[in-house]
Amino acid sequence: MADSNFIDYVKILCRSGKGGAGSRHFYRAKYVPKGGPDGGDGGRGGHIILKGNAHMWTLLPLKYRRHIFAGNGQSGSGGRSFGKDGEDVVVEVPCGTVVFDAETGEFLCEVTYDGQEVKLLRGGRGGLGNWHFKSATNRTPRYAQPGEPAIEKSIILELKVLADVGLVGFPNAGKSTLLSAVSAARPKIADYPFTTMEPQLGIVSYRDNRSFVMADIPGIIEGASEGKGLGLRFLRHIERNAVLLFMIPADADDIAAEYKILVNELKQFNPQLLDKHRILAISKSDMLDDELIEAVRETLPDDIPYVFISAVTGQGITELKDVLWRAITDDDNRLATPDITHRALDQSHRVREEDEFIFQYQPGEQDEDDEGEDLQNISADTWGDDYDVDGDDYMWDEDVEPDENEPRKDDK
C-alpha cells in the first residue's frame, strides 16, 4: 500500500490563526491636546475549512502536506484602523471523507457532497481596541484586548468510498471479474488470494441510459473485524454503499455458512451495515448444470434474494442488474450517503505507519512571521488578574502604560 496512489487514511496537524491584538492608541494632533482613545480592533485569525471535491478520489495530496497552518490576524492601529484578517486555508478532500481527533479517536465531522464546506478549526477572534472601553467615567482607557489564541489539533482523515453497490466476499470469489464484465473498469485479476489490494470503482450501464456505481472491496476473511487480513483496512468503505452484493462461488463447500460468516464480520464492524439492502450472487455458476443448481438452491438462505451468475459466459448478468436497480431505487433505501454512525477510532482500527508519524513542529514554537511574544504561551499571571485566557472578554491591566513605539506627533 505504500506505493499505491489510493490513500484513504492520513494523519495531519492543523492550526487555525490567532487573532490580532487591539490597539491602545490615543489620537494626537496639533491643537487637539486631548484627542482621546482611537485604537482599532485586531483582525481575526484564519479558519481551517474542509471542502468536498467530486473530482478527487484519494487523499494522496494530503499525504505529503502534513502541516496545515492558517494565517494570523494583524494587530489594530490608530485612527480606529482594524487589523487585517488572517488568511483562511481551504483544504479540498474527496466526498465521503470522515474526520477524527487523532488523540482521542472522537468523530468530528464528515464531508459527503461536492462543494460542501465544513469549518474544521475556527480562527481566534481579534481583540477590541481601547476606543471600545471609553466612557464618561473612564475617558482614557489604557488597555485593550489581545487576540484569542489559535486552535491546534492533530486529526485523522478517513476516506469512505461513495458507491451504489458494494461487492462483499471472500478472496477469489469473482468480484473483480464481475466488475470488469459489467463496467469499463479493469481491476487486476489473478488466481491467488488478495489480488485486489485497494477499492476499485466502475460505472455499470443499465437500460434507458441509466447507470450506477459499483465498488470492488478487497476480500474479507473470518476475523477481519478483529484486524485479520485486509478486511479491517477496507471494511469502512462498505459503510457508504447503498446496496451490498454478497458474492460466493458455486464451488464453495457451504454457501449458507460462508454467507453467515460475512454477515457476522459486518455486524462486528458496524451493526448498522445489516440495515442495508443485501443481495446474494452465486458466481461461477457456469460450472453447474440444472440439477446441481436446484440442489444448491435448496441450501440457500430464505431471507435474501439470490441470483446465479457467471461473469465469463454472461449467465444471469441482466437479471442481476435488474435486481440491483430495484434495490437502489427503493424508496426505503438511502442513495450514496446513508445515515450512519461513525464509531470512534480505537487502536485496532488505526493505520500504524500513519499514527507513528512524528510531527517536527512542536506546539508553542514561535512562527517566523510573528513579531513579539506568542500570546498563546503566556499565562494569565503575566497580564494581571483582569486577563482571562478562557473567557470571551479579556483585557490588559489598567496599570500598563501605552507602548513607547506607538507613532505620535510633535506637541509643539
Q: Would you tell me how many other CB atoms lie within 10 Å of the CB of residue 412?
A: 4
Specify the pLDDT at position 385.
36
**Bridge partners, 211 (sequence order):** 205
8 A C-beta contact, residue 176 and residue 253 = no
Contacts of 385 (CB under 8 A, 6+ apart): 397
Task: Please report the beta strands in 264-340, taking only residues with DSSP state E, as ranges in sequence order.
Answer: 277-283, 306-308
Between the alpha carbon of residue 231 and those of residues 171, 227, 234, 237, 262, the distances in Å are 10, 7, 5, 10, 11
How do the pLDDT tens digits run along the chain, 412 residues long? 444 567 888 899 999 999 999 999 888 888 887 888 999 999 999 999 999 998 888 888 888 888 999 999 999 988 888 999 999 999 999 988 999 998 888 889 889 889 999 999 999 999 999 888 988 888 889 889 999 999 999 999 988 877 788 888 887 777 788 888 888 766 666 555 555 556 777 888 888 888 888 888 776 766 555 555 555 566 777 777 888 889 888 888 888 888 888 888 888 877 778 888 888 888 888 887 888 888 888 888 877 888 888 888 888 888 888 888 888 887 666 543 446 667 677 655 666 656 665 444 444 444 444 443 343 333 333 333 333 333 334 344 333 344 444 444 444 3
Specify the pLDDT at position 316.
86
Specify the pLDDT at position 350.
62
> What is the rounded CA–CA span in Å between residue 211 and residue 13?
39
Specify the pLDDT at position 75.
92
Specify the pLDDT at position 140.
87
pTM above 0.85, yes or no: no
Place of cell 467530486: 54
Specify the pLDDT at position 387.
35
Contacts of 371 (CB under 8 A, 6+ apart): none
Specify the pLDDT at position 52.
92
| H/E element, 199 | none
pLDDT tens digit string along 343-387? 677 655 666 656 665 444 444 444 444 443 343 333 333 333 333
* SS3 of residue 101 by DSSP: strand
